[in-house]
Copies of this chain bind each other. A is one copy, B any other.
């Protein structure tokens, strides 16, 4: 099958992004970052994102699968999706990807928290019309979830491509926010006889369940057997 992933050259990205009034981390600014690599890493690690958009004065947050290639974020879905219609029309969007890394148990209810990494991308979409870019984006979406898969699965037909909307958002205005480490309790709480610490969390795969219709001679691919989140 066609694998066009490597055919479109990538522009190099370098300097950290400039915080704007929309992406500057205000709450706990020490946790904020505008580092491209960190933003990329979070977007790549998160299996899904939530896309905020406005339709008839009502904001929505809709879960969807994304993919990143260089400094471009791709969303995709059916032509009938309201979210994609709004996104393809160039309306303002916010794409947020969040990875939960652990539960932070402090001695006080007040200082409980989560360890997490989130990336917030502000921008507006560009409908992808170039067939090569569209194909690449759709394969990237599959690769994002299961690296190695796009070269194995059947690629999109012309009809499937026509039924699918792909929207690109450039990573120009974005920020990351990260919390790591132990609970931070008030000094006077340290003597309380309350357990404190972190419960690390990870997304872990169970045993793959073959499709009932699968020809028994098709072996489980190595990229599935070895799958790990991120």
A143 to B208, CA, bound (A): 32
Mark interface residues in A139-154 (1 if CB within 8 Å of B CB, else 0): 1011001100110111
Q: Which of A66-119 contact B (CB under 8 A)?
A: 77-78, 80-82, 92-96, 98, 100, 102-103, 105-110, 112, 114, 116, 118
Closest to A112 in B: B142
A109 touches B156 (CB 8 A): yes
A26 to B122, CA, bound (A): 26
Shortest Cβ distance from residue A192 to the other chain B in the assembled complex, whole angstroms: 6
Instruction: List the B side residues contacting A65 at CB < 8 Å.
Output: 114
Instruction: List the B side residues contacting A221 at CB < 8 Å.
Output: 195
Q: Which of A187-225 contact B (CB under 8 A)?
A: 189-215, 217-221, 224
Interface size counted on chain A using CB atoms at 8 A: 98
Closest to A214 in B: B196
B81 touches A27 (CB 8 A): yes
A197 touches B182 (CB 8 A): no
Closest to A116 in B: B63
Q: Given contacts A58-B94, A114-B48, A203-B100, is CB(A195)–CB(B209) below 8 Å? A: no
- Interface flag for A47 (CB, 8 Å): yes
Q: Which 6 pairs of residues, A with B, have the shortest CB-CB distance?
A: A52-B61, A200-B206, A50-B50, A52-B59, A63-B98, A196-B211
7 contacts between A and B (CB under 8 A): A27-B77, A63-B98, A100-B203, A108-B155, A196-B210, A201-B206, A204-B204
